Amino acid sequence: MSTFTIDTSTSRSRPVPEPVRRLTVPAIRARKNSGGEPIVMLTAYTARMAQLLDEHCDVLLVGDSLGQVIYGLPSTLPVTLDMMCAHGAAVVRGSYKSLIVVDMPFGSYEESPEAAFRAASRIMAETGCAAVKLEGGTAMADTISFLTQRGIPVMAHVGLTPQAVNALGGYGARGKSQEEAAKIAEDAKAVEQAGAFSVVIEGVIEEIARNVTAGLDIPTIGIGASPSCDGQVLVAEDMLGLFERTPRFVKRFGTMAEDISRAAGEYATAVKSRDFPEDAQLYGVKKD
């Protein structure tokens, strides 16, 4: 089986006849009751970022958050299937170990299970990913069942579901009322029974995430949820400090914005003073 690797000295892809030994969907699902380490998951949208994150992660998510992070869109709603396929394929090419999951964009799966299958099968065929992720609980249970029965592994997503931001009225934490808490638990159980191999729990009251995790036989992946979840996920650029605003549920583990700004400033200074390029960066006539 052939794949691609990135030659970091040239930033070009080159095919290599090397077998891919990735984590599998059953292996991730089995982490629930194996007593193993929590699942480490981050987003990735490009081949180079995938290459950098791959050795540290169990799962790389090609999230529809690329709409905001990569394209500067106001939300995830305008993200297209073409975008997800292009970035999903890049992440697969840039990784070897991690399980790759690709988000299904808004409008690609809600209409019917059949429409969802067409979109999901296209994502898997064009990217080489191992699974898709879709938002929604009980309302999407039939669709999840339809996909999983036809060989498409599904990671579910409950709690705060960004694609439903207009219906939810914003990005506030979910589960503050008893009724809402019960609905989150019901949604999580519904997607498990429908065949999802794991479920993301986003932006919910900590106690709810803890209780939901204890009540499921599939792994939960928390984001703004609980350390009791079976794994955690963050947008990599948030975690790396690319943006000035840091959501409450994010901890910065890097200073990416500051590093880029500093390097760009040093470059600009060197150009203006004509200190760049130096002799080491110039081409000359070879001498015999």
Q: Is 64 annotated as a binding residue?
A: yes
Q: Give exposure, 238-271, as e/b (b: 16+ Cβ within 10 Å).
A: bbbbbbeeeeebbeeeeebeeeeeeeeeeeeeee
Catalytic residue among 202, 206, 207, 278: 202
Rounded CA separation 132/217 (Å): 19
Annotated binding residue 32: no
Residues in CB range of 223: below 8 A, 6 or more apart: 200, 201, 202, 203, 232, 233, 234, 249
The answer to whether the annotation marks 54 as part of a ligand binding site is no
65 among annotated binding-site residues = yes
Look up 111 and say whether it is catalytic: no
Distance (Å, rounded) from C-alpha 102 to C-alpha 86? 11
The identity of residue 252, as a single letter, is R
Amino acid letter for position 247: P
The reply, when asked if residue 133 is annotated as ligand binding, is yes
Binding residues: 64-65, 103, 133, 135
Binding residues for Mg(2+): 64, 103, 135
- Known catalytic residues are 202
Binding residues for 3-methyl-2-oxobutanoate: 64-65, 103, 133
